[in-house]
Structure 1
Amino acid sequence: MLRRCGTHIRELKLASVERTFHDQRLSPDSASTDYQKTIHADLHFHVVYENKTLEGGYIPDQQIRDQIDVLNADYELTGIRWKHVNTTRTKNSEWFNRVAPENEHEKNMKTSLRTGDASTLNVYSVGFRDGEGAGLLGYATFPWDYTNKTLLDGVVALYSSLPGGTLAPYDKGRTLTHEIGHWLGLYHTFQGGCEGSGDYVGDTPAEDSPAYGCPTKRDSCPNDPGPDPIHNFMDYSDDACMREFTKGQISRLRAQIGAYRGMRK
């Protein structure tokens, strides 16, 4: 199985979003954001399962704790500290198997389970076995969508991608690290390919397409500086290959959550 993320943005919307964000970033409130301050962010974990077996999505509490540890290690340099507030468990085979971005199952699931405000991260673990979401590892909403899609805000991930899961080579918890990156305002490193503004981060080398495995020295945009950022959490590499956010990504995500999620300290 290859990594497949369901978080995408169309080019026309991207251009509009980035123009608005540019203006937000120049505002006094955004300019005064202190990126050195630690942000403590609440995280609610919603286990959606088909039956009370591991194969049915009933993941144990220890696996969730291990996932939070991975997130806090991966996000340490960003200054964001994830606080696991609680875990809910809901038996619903339709949600578990058939949830997908903006379909009725997602709307029903999140209407029932979501809690908190724009700064609260809601994580949902599901099976992605049938329908339009089949084969996904996860997906997320972007910060700027919160106002118009409040109830849909959050991150959905395949239950077997948590640390110690059965989805090798995607079994070390980096699927949630990746999807939360979107929730914080980051694009894929291969956004836009070799042309244009790419992922709107200046220190991530341009990348023509997703990286799979851990292809060292890969350079899919040879006319641009640097090899592909295969170790970046926002690529599609194996979990063991992922290990970093760049300084530019950290600056962007801190500005994003300050502007759209009210997370400034």
Structure 2
Amino acid sequence: MGLLGIDSDEATKAADATATQVRAAANGGALERAKLPDEGGLTGAATRLVERLLDIGIDGRGPFDSAEKVAETALKHARGDVEQAIRIIRRDHRQIGAVGGFVTGLGGFFTMPLSLPANVLEFYLVGTRMTAATAKVRGYDLSQPEIRSAVLLTLIGADSDDLLKKAGVVASGGKWSSLAAGRLPAPALMVLNKAIGFRLLGRIGGSTFARFGRAVPILGGALGAVIDVYMLGRIGAQAAKEFPPVATYGR
């Protein structure tokens, strides 16, 4: 059993099983109930995680601005320069990640059971918004289901190619182009999102850095900040790659 009570192997198996449903739905087949491990806990956790990432990470809520608003602000500060706006978005979100990683790591082992779940959710929310804002300034419509799924796929990096392959989608070019070429129906995209949620949960469960590196008070805060900044940097670079410029902003 991994961190936060999540077994990374079970989460990976669940993601693979769910991916087969995507293939069936894309071919016009009925979505059958997947025989997944820990139906109540693991499946529910994956669904809730994805819903929060989409609802808050992309659309925003309360003090957490939407990706569209972040994109508009960055473009304004960059005076319309798209690539400069993307650099601003990456810089600002890495700064947010540094603060979050440092604060949640300050207490070390004694506060980790409470602080780490909050940091994990915050990290993925920040990564989601950074990716979605990057897509927006490059000209993508964040209301399109394919774009929203592509944003989530970017969070899991190299694992996304494997997941798309199992789902019967050939990953040629960016994640957005792969999903668009696959012409997945809405039900299949919803199941794909759940599979992504399983993969994200699997990463949480297998996080060695999170388990041991942040267990030391004060030092854990510094390490948490470094790790989050580094990982957000990778996600930001991947986002720029997966969402190449389109002809017209706001497509």
TM-score by length of 2: 0.28
Pick the structure with more strand per residue: 1
**Bigger relative contact order, structure 1 or 2, given CA contacts below 8 A and separation 6+?**
2
Pick the structure with more helix per residue: 2
TM-score by length of 1: 0.27
